[in-house]
Amino acid sequence: MLRHLPVFTLFILALMCLSVGKTELCINEGVEFDTEFASIGEPLFAVCPLNFLLNENMNVTWIRNDTQTEITSDRQERVHQDQNILKFVPADLNDSGFYQCILRNSTYCIKKIVRVEVFKNDDALCYKDSVKFLRKAKPPLFTIQCPKQDIYGNYKNMSVRWFKVPFI
């Protein structure tokens, strides 16, 4: 019986190495082009840029890149993940950084990094000049849509305020 113990131990170690190797073989899609911006104290919802690949067989994990800390799904926490959305309620300057969205199932793993920038408004302004949302209204509609409003849509007391700011 003891003679089989080394073989069994090697088998267990091989299985552990295979499972570790599987997570290391995650396809790295690099950094998302768009940065997620928010002012201090505002909520910020960052949608996983791999959302188009998400299906019911995939697990979503968010990780803060600099600490390799997995983000909790506990909705009582200020920063938490809600499936494919990383939520900062409210955002804080210390939240600025890079976050990995990882999708995986039993045979596939892919990850992409999202950059989050939380900023302080410019002095005497309710915005930061360098992160203005620039759009021009063009005929025939003359309307400007609020970007990403749909991900905040289930908040009943949400209000959107538009400000016209000087363009330099």
pLDDT digit string, tens, across residues 93-121: 999 999 999 999 989 999 999 999 998 87
Rg (C-alpha) for the chain, rounded Å, is 22
State the Cα–Cα distance between residues 168 and 161, nearest whole angstrom.
21
pLDDT at residue 6, as a whole number: 46
Q: What is the pLDDT of residue 164?
A: 66
Indicate the DSSP class of residue 72. Answer: P
Distance CA 142, CA 144 (A): 7
Is 90 exceeded by the pLDDT of residue 70?
yes
Beta carbons of 62 and 46 less than 8 angstroms apart: no
Q: Are 58 and 103 in contact (CB under 8 A)?
A: yes
Q: What is the pLDDT of residues 121-134, one digit of tens each?
A: 766 656 555 565 55
The whole-model pTM stands at: 0.68
In this predicted structure, what is the pLDDT of residue 13? Answer: 38
| Choice between 9 and 38, residue whose per-residue pLDDT is larger | 38
Of the given ranges (40-44, 114-118, 150-154), which has the lowest mean pLDDT? Answer: 150-154
Gap between the Cα atoms of 77 and 84, Å rounded: 16
Decide the pairing of beta strands 109-119 and 27-39. Answer: parallel
Averaged over 38-59, what is the pLDDT? Answer: 88
Q: What is the mean pLDDT of residues 31-42?
A: 88
Bridge partners, 115 (sequence order): 35, 98
What string of DSSP letters covers 91-145? --GGG-EEEEEEEE-SS-EEEEEEEEEEEPPPTTSSS-GGG-------TTT---P
Domains of the chain (ranges; CATH) run 25-120+133-152 (2.60.40.10)
Structure-token pair, residue 122: 């410019």
Tokens, residue 93: 């300057």
Contact in structure between 126 and 119 (CB atoms under 8 Å) = no
* 8 pLDDT tier (thresholds 50, 70, 90): very low
